[in-house]
Amino acid sequence: MNIFFIGYMGSGKSTIGQKFSELLKYEYVDLDTYIQDREGLLIPEIFKTKGEIYFRKAENKYLKEVLHLEKTILSLGGGTPCYGNNMELITTSPKSKSVYLKSSIPNLVVRLYNERASRPLIAHLNDKDELTEFIGKHLFERSQYYSQSDITISTDNKSINDILEELVTKLF
């Protein structure tokens, strides 16, 4: 079985995905890291030098590659499910489950504010109010894709261990 972690930037996909892979003794792949390795560039550099459209095409191509892996936990980028046929590829992938890690807007703002410089889509936002407004609109557009996941786990006010326990209960 493969398990896909889906959710907005800062929702904990990488942290939870990595811990869950250790628990299950599965391989772990972070799609952003995979793209960076294959392209030989960091994500902000890809956005800057080649543009977002190039990035989205690369993301679709590499998603198709990682779909062939087995017994793997895959943390996707925040935008991965929302472009092209990506969510269809994820939901129809055999022997796989998708998990939406859902976080509230205020929690996302807290987690993303100090890291926004390294995230091309939010790097231009100047203060917490602008970030709050941006995330609110963006999440509203993206929720229709995220909510197609097999299961949804709210991460608000939960420890990593709480989330791991909930994953085991809901997935197996």
What residue ranges bind ligand S3P (CB under 6 A)? 9, 13, 32, 43, 77-79, 119-121
The least CB distance from residue 169 to ligand S3P, in Å, is 25
Nearer to ligand S3P, 24 or 135 (CB): 135
Nearer to ligand S3P, 139 or 167 (CB): 139
Which pair of tokens denotes residue 41?
A: 């560039």
Furthest-apart CA pair in the chain: how many Å?
Answer: 44
Which pair of tokens denotes residue 24?
A: 């299950």
> Is residue 108 exposed (0-12), middle (13-18) or buried (19+ Cβ within 10 Å)?
buried
Nearer to ligand S3P, 8 or 26 (CB): 8
The least CB distance from residue 8 to ligand S3P, in Å, is 7
The least CB distance from residue 172 to ligand S3P, in Å, is 25
Cβ–Cβ < 8 Å for 5, 74:
yes
The least CB distance from residue 95 to ligand S3P, in Å, is 24
Characterize 57-85 residue by residue with b for buried, 16 or more Cβ atoms within 10 angstroms of its Cβ, and e for exposed: ebbeebbeebbeeeebbbbbbbbbbbbee
Nearer to ligand S3P, 137 or 168 (CB): 137
Nearer to ligand S3P, 136 or 165 (CB): 136
The least CB distance from residue 55 to ligand S3P, in Å, is 7
Give the number of other Cβ atoms within 10 Å of residue 92's Cβ: 10
CA 29 to CA 18: how far, in whole Å? 8
